[in-house]
Amino acid sequence: MTNPQQIAQRYLETFNETDAARRRELLEQLYTSQGTYIDPHVEVTGTAAIDAFIGQTQERFPGFTFKLGGPVDAHHDQARFQWHAGPDGEPPIYAGFDVIVTDGGRICSVYGFADAAPAV
């Protein structure tokens, strides 16, 4: 993996990018054409579907920012890291960790896990 810290940061930036055209551009640079995103609630393939999922996430959680929750642990072409999400300038409400698999430079797959969420 070229630079796992940088790839993880760029990945989270796509969740924070509210300009749809810019987000799509970032996704196309970051993912392979058949890249996948899978978490307990969704499984999508391709940058258009990933973009739609991120757009829905932003609609569901307006004003939330995603940030790295610690260092990125990586070996071979995979990385894992914790993330935090919440309203800008406030303590995070959600926490999770994701595993990213790359082809050496671009994301092939993301496996997302939620660690902490408010009670419903």
pTM metric for this prediction: 0.93
DSSP 38-58: EETTEEEESHHHHHHHHHHHH
Q: Would the pLDDT of 113 be above 90?
A: yes
List the chain domain ranges.
4-115
Query: What is the average pLDDT across 85-109?
Result: 94
Please answer whether residues 93 and 87 qualify as being in contact, where contact means their C-beta atoms are separated by less than 8 angstroms.
yes
Please answer whether residues 113 and 41 qualify as being in contact, where contact means their C-beta atoms are separated by less than 8 angstroms.
no
The full length of the chain comes to 120
pLDDT tens digit string along 32-78? 999 999 999 999 999 999 999 999 999 999 999 999 999 999 999 99
Lowest mean pLDDT among 80-84, 88-92, 97-101: 88-92
Residue 63 DSSP code: T
State residue 2's pLDDT score.
72
Strands (E), the chain: 31-39, 42-45, 64-68, 73-75, 78-87, 94-102, 107-116
**What is d(CA 2, CA 69) in angstroms, rounded to the nearest whole number?**
21
User: How crowded is residue 70: how many other Cβ atoms within 10 Å of its Cβ?
Assistant: 10
State residue 66's pLDDT score.
97
SS3 108: strand
pLDDT tens digit string along 15-32? 999 999 999 999 999 999
Per-residue pLDDT band at 116 (split at 50, 70, 90): confident
In the block, tokens 């595993």 appear at 99
Under CATH, which number does the domain 4-115 receive? 3.10.450.50
